[in-house]
């Protein structure tokens, strides 16, 4: 990937120029997923990250991600979703029925870029919200691993040799950008496909996907299209994992290690350009 894909940060700018991400992530027992997602979004350059979480998570999030702010997850009364350029929805959300109003509100009313991951995807299937998903006006990126992809297609499992076909079926069924995760993650949109070549098996560790969701949402908040954010996001995520492998080794790298190498990954990508921009 050429570093020219990156938008330079302007000298005359402030945090409002780099977008706001709303992370509808985490639940009691899965606060970590929100931490990884929010941390990665900040490490990817968004101007502001805000969590929409149950109040029980405020303390842990404000300690683990002090740069971010928290709102109570009350979509009926409190949260104006269209204030955010990007929403990351689903990492560690849980499968409870109480998530239905959140999902409906975001799918029905949101017009920005929506990254739907993990339990966001699982809840769409569990509570039959695919009509809302298909009708949504948001620029949507689905980020399933192979298990989640099988659920989206309502099949038992997907053979690795059928991975691209399955990703294409999901893309066609929902009309969104699809990120089919795993070694050589695929990014598909209606008439394009990108095969990623960064990353390593050290990244097969809990929370690594939550980091990817945060990176993609952050890029989208900074003005990249959904497809561009997904493509650059998977490249940067894999490169951050490769930097972890160089520095730590594949065995024992953590999701947080990956999130914390994201700035260096951006620096390496930016230096791989030919426009003479500040590296």
Ligand X SMILES: NC(=O)C1=CN([C@@H]2O[C@H](COP(=O)(O)OP(=O)(O)OC[C@H]3O[C@@H](n4cnc5c(N)ncnc54)[C@H](OP(=O)(O)O)[C@@H]3O)[C@@H](O)[C@H]2O)[C@@H](O)CC1
Ligand Y SMILES: Nc1ncnc2c1ncn2[C@@H]1O[C@H](COP(=O)(O)OP(=O)(O)O)[C@@H](O)[C@H]1O
- Please state the residue numbers annotated as binding site for (6S)-NADPHX: 33, 92, 145, 210
Per rule CB under 6 A, count of chain residues that contact ligand Y: 18
Residues between 114 and 143 that touch ligand X (CB under 6 A): 118-119
Which of 182, 223 has the CB closer to ligand Y? 182
Residue nearest to ligand X (CB): 147
SS3 assignment, position 52: strand
Residues between 107 and 126 that touch Mg ion (CB under 5 A): 118
Which of 139, 148 has the CB closer to ligand X? 148
Work out whether the CA dihedral 132, 138, 142, 143 comes out positive or negative: negative
Q: Does 207 bind ligand X (CB under 6 A)?
A: yes
Q: Contact, 92 vs 34, CB < 8 A? A: yes
In eight-state DSSP terms, residue 140 is E
Q: Which does 257 bind (CB under 5 to 8 A by kind): ligand X, ligand Y, Mg ion, none?
A: none
Q: Which does 242 bind (CB under 5 to 8 A by kind): Mg ion, ligand Y, ligand X, none?
A: none
Query: Is the backbone of residue 39 left (phi > 0), alpha (psi -120 to 50) or beta?
Result: alpha
Give the contact letters, 191-210, x = binds to Mg ion (CB under 5 A), - = no. ------------------x-
Q: Does 32 bind ligand X (CB under 6 A)?
A: yes
Structural element, H or E, at residue 189: strand 186-189
Q: Does 146 bind ligand X (CB under 6 A)?
A: yes
Q: Contact, 144 vs 178, CB < 8 A? A: yes
Residues between 170 and 189 that touch ligand Y (CB under 6 A): 181-183, 185
Which of 44, 208 has the CB closer to Mg ion? 208
CA distances (Å), origin 116, targets 11, 59, 243 = 33, 25, 26
210-231 exposure pattern, b = at least 16 Cβ within 10 A, e = fewer: bbbbbbbbbbbbbebebbbbbb
Selected from 26, 32, 207, 214, the binder of ligand Y by CB under 6 A is 207
Q: In what order do the strands lie in the sheet with 186-189?
A: 69-72, 48-53, 20-24, 86-89, 113-116, 139-142, 177-180, 186-189, 192-195
Q: Which residues bind ligand X (CB under 6 A)?
A: 30, 32-33, 91-93, 118-119, 145-148, 182, 206-207, 209-210
């Amino acid at each position: 990937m050429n570093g020219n894909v990156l938008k330079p940060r302007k000298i005359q700018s402030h945090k409002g120029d780099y977008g706001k991400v709303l992370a509808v992530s985490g639940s009691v027992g899965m606060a970590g997923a929100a931490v990884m997602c929010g941390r990665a979004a900040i490490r990817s350059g968004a101007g502001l990250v805000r969590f929409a979480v149950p109040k029980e998570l405020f303390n842990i999030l404000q300690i683990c991600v002090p740069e971010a702010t928290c709102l109570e997850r009350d979509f009926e009364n409190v949260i104006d979703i269209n204030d955010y350029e990007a929403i990351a929805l689903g990492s560690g959300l849980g499968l409870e029925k109480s998530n239905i109003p959140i999902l409906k509100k975001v799918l029905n009313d949101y017009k920005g870029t929506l990254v739907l991951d993990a339990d966001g995807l699982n809840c769409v299937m569990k509570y039959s919200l695919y009509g809302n998903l298909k009708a949504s006006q948001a620029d949507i990126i689905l980020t399933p691993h192979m298990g989640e992809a099988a659920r989206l297609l309502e099949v038992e499992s997907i053979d690795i040799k059928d991975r691209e076909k399955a990703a294409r079926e999901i893309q066609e069924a929902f009309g969104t950008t699809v990120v089919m995760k795993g070694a050589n993650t695929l990014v598909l949109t209606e008439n394009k496909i990108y095969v990623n070549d960064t990353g390593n098996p050290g990244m097969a560790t809990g929370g690594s996907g939550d980091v990817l969701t945060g990176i993609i949402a952050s890029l989208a908040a900074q003005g990249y299209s959904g497809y561009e954010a997904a493509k650059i996001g998977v490249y940067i995520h894999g490169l951050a994992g490769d930097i972890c492998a160089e520095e730590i080794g594949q065995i024992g790298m953590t999701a947080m290690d990956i999130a914390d190498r994201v700035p260096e990954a951006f620096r390496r990508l930016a230096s791989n350009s030919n426009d003479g921009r500040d590296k």
